[in-house]
Amino acid sequence: MTPEVEIYDTTLRDGTQGHGISFSVADKLRIADRLDTFGVQYIEGGWPGSNPKDIEFFAEARHRTFKHARLAAFGSTRRKDIAAAADDQVQLLIAAETPVVTIFGKTSPLHVREVLQTTLDENLAMIGDTVRFLKAHGKFVVYDAEHCFDGFKEDTPYALATLHAAEQAGADIITLCDTNGGSLSGEIATITRVAREELRVRIGIHTHDDIGLGVANALAAIEAGATHVQGTINGYGERTGNCNLTSVIPILHFKLKMRGVPVESLPLLTELSQFVDETANLRANPRLPWVGAAAFSHKGGTHVNAVQKVLSSYEHIDPGSVGNTRHVLISDLAGRSNIVMKAKELGFDLGNDTAHLKTMLATIKDLEHKGYEFEAADGSLTLLIRRVLTGAPPRFTVDAYHVSMRSEGGSSVCEATVKVRVGDRRAHTVADGDGPVNALDAALRSALVTIYPHLQSVRLTDYKVRIIDSTTGTAATTRVLIQSTDGVTEWGTIGVHENIIEASLQALVDSLECALTHSAARA
């Protein structure tokens, strides 16, 4: 499918400049995989010239194959007064070995003179040289015209000259950026139309949300002829954020009737949004349009039929079309089909009338009420569904455990003891760790490897803790999310408890149980 509007995701680069957002390399790889499955055309992975983490990301990403997306490395035009080949930052873009390279350059004379402190001609040369250099290395080049709209308002002929410099040097896409996010939609449309008439290459749009127009401005540009849109999932980004792709993507499809991502991806949008929030360890914003928990929530009325009729008139679209759900007292049916869909995704063949569905739904709802959140914990959800379906007991049980900590000459030592039962076999082990969870993990694992040697290959790749609101109003609850891998597959598990150690143990137990399930399935 050729998209009418290309989606360029910069969650992993511009998004990470957002307040409170930090991704590990493993997080970034997981998000890139999700974005690729979802069907965006470009994934901007980072700025190799700005930090070693991004260099590591590209080194890891090199070994992966993406089905839909092409990976882009981000950087700037060469520095003034040197050759592109002599600029380390430009060299790092080549070294990232991505098919796409995106560079930004200056459009505004004010910025050229005051910020770069160079001449207008040298800026044009910096743009042309860098694009040519990247093209000579076989890259698909996206040129981001920084402060483009401000530049046009300041000096239209010069702003156009910078775009021509990029086009003549062979840029494949020229993106007009509202870097400060202060432009109005009318201005964006007018300037995009001018660029559209002047240039032959594909025009892109990159906006920020500083005055609440990030999405509106991107759409104004698209309606004026831009066919490439840059933004982030959930609108992450500097200050008030970037253009929010979780709004742009469904608007393109449902409101403008334009092709962007594959149609079958649209019902996965809410899940993608939640996954990125979970990975960023951020509380999801319920008021986010389209994908927020409140986007389709209604206070239920008294008469079911009447409420159902009224509901449709209070929704601009069917929530299921973007994978969201209507939150009302009568949402039992929607919940049921969600479980069926999710169970199918996890490999269970359920129908809407499967006998255990009601128990399953009740169990999940009860756990969610207690603070469980299965969006990033497929592993725990799989175990839960299997337990309800088969009634099979867990493969092992932790009968008792003890964790202690002492401080010795400034460093802390943690020790954990566990008693584990597998059938009628019992193991009792003790282990040290640099933290209580680490010690507990080591003790649990050494108890189990004596019985299941292949657990040796399982390792934790991520551990996240969040304090969530108490549902009882008496004590804060801790939610622990763990990511694990056995080198073949990766899974997430969850534990929730008032005590962080207990919550961690639940997630650890689920993680190892999942590992045993996977190896049993492969055997």
Q: What are phi and psi of 424, to 5 degrees?
A: -105, 10
Nearer to Zn ion, 244 or 493 (CB): 244
Tell me: does residue 146 bind Zn ion (CB under 5 A): no
Tell me: does residue 277 bind Zn ion (CB under 5 A): no
What is the token pair recorded at 306?
Answer: 């009447």
CB of 179 vs Zn ion, minimal distance in Å? 6
Nearer to Zn ion, 14 or 271 (CB): 14
Q: Can you tell me the distance from the alpha carbon of 233 to that of 219, in angstroms, rounded to the nearest whole number?
A: 16
Ranges within 34-53 binding Zn ion (CB under 5 A) = none
DSSP secondary structure letter of residue 244: B
Of the candidate spans 12-20, 77-85, 101-109, 485-493, the one that interacts with Zn ion by CB under 5 A turns out to be 12-20
CB of 172 vs Zn ion, minimal distance in Å? 19
Nearer to Zn ion, 104 or 491 (CB): 104
CB of 217 vs Zn ion, minimal distance in Å? 12
CB of 498 vs Zn ion, minimal distance in Å? 41
CA quadruple 301, 307, 310, 312: dihedral sign: positive
Nearer to Zn ion, 236 or 452 (CB): 236
Burial call 117-148: b when 16+ CB within 10 Å, e when fewer: ebeeeebbbbbbbbbbbbbeeebbbbbbbbbb
CB of 231 vs Zn ion, minimal distance in Å? 9
Of the candidate spans 6-14, 30-38, 279-287, 298-306, the one that interacts with Zn ion by CB under 5 A turns out to be 6-14
Tell me: does residue 27 bind Zn ion (CB under 5 A): no
CB of 13 vs Zn ion, minimal distance in Å? 9
What is the token pair recorded at 72?
Answer: 């882009």
Nearer to Zn ion, 129 or 209 (CB): 209
457 close to 487: Cβ distance less than 8 angstroms: yes
Of the candidate spans 11-19, 51-59, 309-317, 388-396, the one that interacts with Zn ion by CB under 5 A turns out to be 11-19
158 close to 151: Cβ distance less than 8 angstroms: yes
Tell me: does residue 375 bind Zn ion (CB under 5 A): no
Q: Can you tell me the distance from the alpha carbon of 48 to that of 88, in angstroms, rounded to the nearest whole number?
A: 10
CB of 243 vs Zn ion, minimal distance in Å? 9
CB of 282 vs Zn ion, minimal distance in Å? 19
Give CA separation, 501 vs 18, 267, 317, 480, 482, in Å.
31, 36, 43, 9, 13
What is the token pair recorded at 30?
Answer: 């997981």
Nearer to Zn ion, 206 or 445 (CB): 206
What is the token pair recorded at 156?
Answer: 């239209």
Of the candidate spans 8-16, 56-64, 243-251, 373-381, the one that interacts with Zn ion by CB under 5 A turns out to be 8-16
Tell me: does residue 513 bind Zn ion (CB under 5 A): no
- List 14, 178, 462, 510, residue binding Zn ion (CB under 5 A): 14
- Residue 407, strand partner residues: 412
328 close to 311: Cβ distance less than 8 angstroms: yes
Give CA separation, 263 vs 55, 249, 268, 272, 370, in Å.
33, 10, 10, 15, 35
Q: Which helix (H) or strand (E) holds 136?
A: helix 120-136
Tell me: does residue 150 bind Zn ion (CB under 5 A): no
Nearer to Zn ion, 14 or 54 (CB): 14
- Count of residues interacting with Zn ion (CB under 5 A): 1
CB of 295 vs Zn ion, minimal distance in Å? 25
CB of 177 vs Zn ion, minimal distance in Å? 6
Nearer to Zn ion, 182 or 435 (CB): 182
CB of 104 vs Zn ion, minimal distance in Å? 9
422 close to 451: Cβ distance less than 8 angstroms: yes
Half-sphere exposure of 82 (CA within 13 A, CB side): 11
395 close to 421: Cβ distance less than 8 angstroms: no
Q: Can you tell me the distance from the alpha carbon of 354 to that of 430, in angstroms, rounded to the nearest whole number?
A: 44
Q: Which of 519, 516, 492, 510 is nearest to 383 (CA)?
A: 510
Ranges within 56-85 binding Zn ion (CB under 5 A) = none
Nearer to Zn ion, 236 or 372 (CB): 236
Per-residue interface string for the shown chain with Zn ion, residues 96-135, x marking contact by CB under 5 A: ----------------------------------------
Give me the residues that bind Zn ion (CB under 5 A), please: 14
